[in-house]
Amino acid sequence: MEGIIKSFIRVQRQIDDFEPVCNSFLDLEASASALVDSSSITDADRKRILDFPEPEMQTANIAATTSLSKADLLRRASESPELLTQAEIDLLKNRYWLGLTFNESITRANAGMTPGPNSVEQHEEALARLAKVRQLLHEENEAQAIKNAAATSKNRAFVSIKKDEANLWKGGRTVGSCIYPSGSRT
C-alpha cells in the first residue's frame, strides 16, 4: 500500500504527507464495515483517500475542461463514456488534476501496475482494498465515471495505434509476425 499512496498526486506535490494519508486510509479501512453512510468521514480524509485536488481547484479544473456540470460529466462518463472528449477523459482518469508532469504520471502508472517489493497477489489485494474504501467516498456515478474514463482512454489509444499501423503498412503483407511492404521479398 505504501507505494500506491506515495504515488498520490497530493503526496507527490506535498499537499499531504504520506503518514496522515496512510493513517486515514487504515482508519477508514478498519471502520469501513461499520460505516453505513460516509457522512462521518471528514472532507480532509475524503480528499486524501480519493487523491482529489482542493474543491476550488477541482471546480476550476472541471470548468476549464468541459461545459458540463460535474454531475452531468459523471453521468455521461458512467453511462456513455464514448461521448466524452479526450480532455474530459483525461480530467476524470487523473482524478480532476490538470497539468500532471511526466514524472507524476509515470509514478502513478507504475504504482498501479508494479508490485514493487510485494508479490503480484499482494499488490492486487492492496489495489482492491483501496478501491473498496474509495467506493464509500465517491459521489454518485463518480467511481464508475473514473473507471470508464480510464478504460475509454486505453481503448482509444489501442484503436489509434491500430490505425497508425494500418496506415503505415497500407499495401503491405504480413508473413508470420513481420510486416513487409508490397513487392518485397521474404
Where in the sequence is the domain holding 64, given as residue range(s)? 2-180
> Cell triple for residue 173?
503483407
Assess if residue 47 is contained within a domain. yes
Amino acid at 114: T
Q: Distance (Å, rounded) from C-alpha 75 to C-alpha 69?
A: 10
CA distance readout (Å), 110 to 7, 153, 158: 8, 17, 19
23 lies in some domain:
yes
Choose between 118 and 107: higher pLDDT.
Answer: 107
| Predicted TM-score of the model (pTM) | 0.79
pLDDT digits (tens, 9 = 90+) for 35-81: 555 667 889 999 999 999 999 999 999 999 999 999 999 999 999 99
pLDDT at position 70: 98
For residue 111, the model assigns a pLDDT of: 83
Q: Is the pLDDT of residue 181 over 90?
A: no
**118-175 pLDDT, tens per residue?**
678 888 899 999 999 999 899 999 999 999 999 998 888 776 676 666 666 665 555 4
In this structure, is residue 185 part of a structural domain? no
Q: What element of type H or E holds 74?
A: helix 70-79
Beta carbons of 127 and 134 less than 8 angstroms apart: no
Residue pLDDT, tens place only, 4-15: 999 999 999 999
Q: How many domains does the chain have?
A: 1
Neighbours of 156 (CB within 10 A): 14
